[in-house]
Amino acid sequence: MARHINQTGLDLIKQWEGKYLNAYQGAADRPGLLTIGYGHTDAAGPPVVKKGMRITDKQAEDILKADLWKVEESVSRMVKVPLNENQFATLVSFVFNVGEGAFGKSTLLKKLNKGDYTSVPAELMKWTNANGKRVQGLANRRAAEAGLWVKGAPIASQYVEPTVEKKNSLLTPEAIATGTAAVSGVGSAVSGVTGPIAYALAAVIVIGFAVAAFYFIRRMKEAEA
């Protein structure tokens, strides 16, 4: 089943192509080439554009949709990864502007077909020149296309393994409670005892706490590993 551009993408193309209901001479580098509607020329197929030709609003949109059919088919065929509606519309707008040949050779397409969705906006912004010079209108169009690409829920380019925060064994409630109990024990044990005996008793308790804490922390780390 053929896939078509959504209304958001169609409106974007209309905005940047501009609507001309009377035939006019297009780009200066292609003298004699007549354009009508939303950038339609004879190169896109019928209708043939003639001098003095005039069309209606509906005809302009119908011609645009007919011109986009080939572009939609090209994008569907050349892109090998899934695209959501806005991503598809972005590429249709882009290819309509730069041509299927340029798209087929682009780094954008190569990266996208490798699953690198996040590189597309930056790659779009590389296509802002005409005749070797930067054109602000093209830069603005590329920015609008990049904005449409990321609109909604874009597909992630890579799976990122979730990380589990490791707890500091010294800051666990169990460790804190053990330390607090030991300190309290030292205070109680030496209470009322003075002189060298008090210091010796306190040292024994502290050493005992240190040994117990060492084995306790080691068990906690082994459990976390």
Q: What is the DSSP letter of 22?
A: E
Which position among 17, 72, 123, 145 bears the catalytic label?
17
Q: What is the DSSP letter of 40?
A: B
Please state whether beta strands 129-130 and 34-37 pair in parallel, antiparallel, or not at all (unpaired): unpaired
Handedness of CA 190, 196, 199, 204 (dihedral sign): negative
Distance CA 147, CA 86 (A): 10
Lookup: tokens for 87: 């991503």
Distance CA 105, CA 75 (A): 13
* Phi-psi label, residue 156: left if phi above 0, alpha if psi -120 to 50, beta otherwise: beta
Find, among 207, 13, 212, the residue nearest to 94 by Cα.
Answer: 13
Distance CA 208, CA 122 (A): 62
72 among known catalytic residues:
no
- Start-to-end CA distance of the chain, whole Å, equals 52
Please name the residue that has the structure tokens 């779009």: 124
Distance CA 177, CA 171 (A): 10
Please list the active-site residues.
17
